[in-house]
Chain A
């Protein structure tokens, strides 16, 4: 099986963010980066499939040279090779990114092209299905279970209060939700091997963005937390506050 996994480098969400002076981007000082959460799940799914059924995983990322570090991490986890589609800035417009990915992936003989359900930074969830449409491939989004045999597969999609079983033929595009597989940690051997694996750099053929950031703001801080008491004796006071102060009960 030939599997491509699209990986985005995103800021480490545990850090405190501040907004840059242009009010349109994050202040880069102090940012650390990592692989998007769902992209990690997608990579793990790809690795497990090739381990069972043969073939290899190729990882692709659109972004500045900093994405090479994220790609090396993917190589250390077990991907065979990596492609950086170089762009000094990654547009916020999913359609612009999908065009760069589709240009690279078209005609590549892939059995599966995997994406995260959404990027942890933009939280759009549009790049996967848009790339699928550009490639003319069947697509199933946000899957939490997967079974691939021969030239077809079945997947489960969780909906609000329900789930769907979905059948699809290969080749296909899938976007991966949490639940199928937790990303493995790279072994020392994997990290050493990754240094010698091929990482190709090409210019990204991004589309013209029609969705742009106008402004970024940090949400207002919540009022500082307040402990109203200890043990079950605090319950009547809690009820009183919920009824008369917060007015939610």
Chain B
């Protein structure tokens, strides 16, 4: 079988978790459908090549390194041109991206340059002959759609978090690849990348999310939510649109139909009514806990465990009890 390409996303010279998800998915697909090779591609400023080993550990047979001083930040045109050219000249069976902010920008450009269709944000897939059958939650998560994508290569972006990175060590070969165009001539330029926090977990990567709504009454009360997340450890903090609208939290913390879609193992909704647009973003969480003073709040219809009452009494108690169990 022809090889499978996996785009390994980097930021600031480091591989992101989604890079290992893409390579793991490519390895699994290659193994499931014969014995094809996995080629991983990294693009960035000089110094990336040292990361190739990490991709090899996750199953890349070949790592292609595209380095240029002008590629310290994302450059949509250079990335798309370079990947499209590589796919064209090598003849891949499939090219895997993740549906991260960068992957969602990049994958459709590559597909269009190749003149082919693609499947976006998939949560499951199978290569079958010259088609791919892929799962994709659509209609704000209310409908599971199975799609059939015909043609080669199959361009797919994988929903972040749906593949668990797994180690399948290969001694990866490393080759350098020149960018298909001079980065200084690109029309679209990313002039600045501001990282909000390097320590805080991203909503998409957290297995536990504590989320706050208007019931918290004021920005400073979000401390209750943050303290709970800290006590749990490894938890991210989310919010409703009511909260991001009021500027209590940044817009990027918003979960829902027009915000982030998350499926953590545990979602704790604090002072959140459970409007349908909010449920659209978190309804697929494995376990949902709701704390709300109104026993008729719609959030209780989806909560595995609900507590009715004043969050200002319940949340501090929960934080304390968790701290106790962590200590003892």
A216 touches B146 (CB 8 A): yes
A123 touches B117 (CB 8 A): no
- Asked if B217 CB lies within 8 Å of chain A CBs, one says no
A214 touches B196 (CB 8 A): no
A226 touches B101 (CB 8 A): no
- Asked if A139 CB lies within 8 Å of chain B CBs, one says yes
B308 touches A227 (CB 8 A): yes
- Asked if A110 CB lies within 8 Å of chain B CBs, one says no
Number of interface residues of B (CB under 8 A): 98
A94 touches B117 (CB 8 A): yes
Number of interface residues of A (CB under 8 A): 83
A-B contact pairs, 16 of them (CB 8 A): A128-B108, A130-B108, A132-B109, A159-B101, A160-B100, A160-B203, A166-B191, A215-B146, A225-B303, A225-B304, A225-B306, A226-B305, A227-B300, A227-B307, A227-B308, A239-B322
- Asked if B173 CB lies within 8 Å of chain A CBs, one says no
B105 touches A120 (CB 8 A): no
- Asked if B193 CB lies within 8 Å of chain A CBs, one says yes
| A124 contacts across to B, CB distance below 8 A | 120-121
Given contacts A11-B139, A232-B309, contact A178 B259 (CB under 8 A): yes
Which chain B residue shows the least CB distance to A161? Answer: B202
User: DSSP majority for the A interface?
Assistant: mixed
Closest 9 A/B residue pairs (Cβ):
A133-B112, A126-B108, A231-B309, A210-B117, A215-B146, A232-B317, A138-B187, A165-B192, A95-B117
Q: B125 to nearest A CB, angstroms?
A: 12
- Asked if B88 CB lies within 8 Å of chain A CBs, one says no
B113 touches A123 (CB 8 A): no
- Asked if B148 CB lies within 8 Å of chain A CBs, one says yes
Distance A128 CA – B286 CA, assembled complex (angstroms): 33
Instruction: Pick from B21-29, B56-64, B250-258 the stretch touching chain A.
Output: B250-258
Interface residues of A in 86-120 (CB under 8 A from B): 92-96, 98, 120
Instruction: Pick from B31-39, B45-53, B130-138, B219-227 the stretch touching chain A.
Output: B130-138
A235 touches B321 (CB 8 A): yes
- Asked if A223 CB lies within 8 Å of chain B CBs, one says yes
Distance A218 CA – B144 CA, assembled complex (angstroms): 6
- Asked if A248 CB lies within 8 Å of chain B CBs, one says yes
- Asked if A236 CB lies within 8 Å of chain B CBs, one says yes
Most buried by A among B139, B286, B299, B309: B139
- Asked if A2 CB lies within 8 Å of chain B CBs, one says no
B280 touches A13 (CB 8 A): yes
A179 touches B251 (CB 8 A): yes
Distance A235 CA – B132 CA, assembled complex (angstroms): 47
| A57 contacts across to B, CB distance below 8 A | none
A214 touches B100 (CB 8 A): no
Q: B14 to nearest A CB, angstroms?
A: 12
Distance A235 CA – B251 CA, assembled complex (angstroms): 31
Partner of A230, one of B299, B309, B325: B309
